[in-house]
Amino acid sequence: MTQPPPDTPAQPSATSPSLPHPEAARGALYGLAAYLLWGFFPLYFHALGPSGPLEVLAHRILWSLLFCLVVLVVGRRWQWLRPLLARRKLLLGLTLAALVLALNWGVYVGAVMAGHTSEAALGYFLNPLLTVALGVVILGEPLRRLQWVAVGIGALAAAYLTVVGGRVPWIALTLAVSFALYGLIKKRVGASLPALHGLTIETAALLPVAGVLLWLVSHGADLASTSGQQQPGATFLGFGGWHTALLLLTGPVTAIPLLLFASAARRVPLVTIGLLQFMTPVMQLLCSLILGEIITAARWVGFGIVWVALAVLSVDSWRARGQGRPPPA
């Protein structure tokens, strides 16, 4: 998914000074637009059905890079590139972040095209809890009591879904863990890098991956698509202009919500961003129903447990903001 990557250039704090009302309102609209667009991703990727997930991932990398380059050329914004190329540690970190992001994108697209959108939505419900847990394990951040309660409830939900489903919910856990790791890497090595610059470098680093994926696709090695609709070999030019246009649009479809999110993050508090982010998996869950997926009663119970955990986390965030305490990153 592809959900909101946390590569905002300046993360707002829960206690940041109030911005003028027009700026705050504009930021809320930007955030709302970003999460709405991400919420409709399942319908978009489902429409790419003749293509397999590997081909879609390859095109997403290629056209995202091209879109970023066009925006940079039009805006004549190249001054940042030369100093960045001299920072090898940062480039290495961004490359690692790009690989984790590619894993997230690939698993998400594959899940949607294989009819597992609801499990992908579960992954993004679990993501805030995994992010908090990583902050404790890797960054050594202290958690408040309600945050511990939220993480514990989230772990209970994962255990419950494993037991009642007869298998570990690998799709949800892979999406949640990869997205949390991506955010952690970006915070450590690229927190000051604007979203457009970060996405440009990351997609450029993934160009070899895209090349390998297209070679595999051309030799018939792709994953099954929705309802067995996937065709052998590349589908870019073989299914009409509409299909070609949809693949070309994977670039702006990927980049525009990210840039909207970055603009929102500069203007509104983290608490607002944290509450808005729940829109996307809710919409993805609704999309799964539109696409005809069956969600069992046991799966709904599991979602309910996760929502309790998220409610606890949200209450803690509001309390922390009211007391002037910034939440863990």
Question: What pLDDT is recorded for position 157?
Answer: 87
Close Cβ partners of 55 (under 8 Å, ≥ 6 residues apart)? 213, 214, 217, 222, 234, 235, 236
In a domain, 231, yes or no: yes
Question: What pLDDT is recorded for position 6?
Answer: 45
Q: What is the amino acid identity at position 313?
A: L
Residue in the block written with tokens 């929102």: 264
In a domain, 26, yes or no: yes
In a domain, 220, yes or no: yes
Close Cβ partners of 20 (under 8 Å, ≥ 6 residues apart)? none
Residues spanned by the domain of 84: 21-322
In a domain, 1, yes or no: no
In a domain, 14, yes or no: no
Domain count, the chain: 1
In a domain, 13, yes or no: no
Question: What pLDDT is recorded for position 191?
Answer: 67
Question: What pLDDT is recorded for position 13?
Answer: 40
In a domain, 10, yes or no: no
User: What are 76-131's pLDDT values in tens digits?
Assistant: 888 888 888 888 888 999 999 999 999 999 999 999 999 999 999 999 988 888 88
Question: What pLDDT is recorded for position 231?
Answer: 54
Residue in the block written with tokens 């319908």: 43
Question: What pLDDT is recorded for position 83?
Answer: 86
Q: Kindly tell me the burial class for residue 192, based on how many C-beta atoms sit within 10 Å of its own C-beta (0-12, 13-18, 19 or more).
A: exposed
Which stretches of the chain score pLDDT less than 50? 2, 6-19, 225-227, 327-329
In a domain, 84, yes or no: yes
Question: What pLDDT is recorded for position 66?
Answer: 96
Distance CA 8, CA 25 (A): 18
Question: What pLDDT is recorded for position 222?
Answer: 67
CA distance readout (Å), 298 to 162, 223, 228, 276, 310: 11, 28, 27, 26, 19
Q: What is the amino acid identity at position 83?
A: P
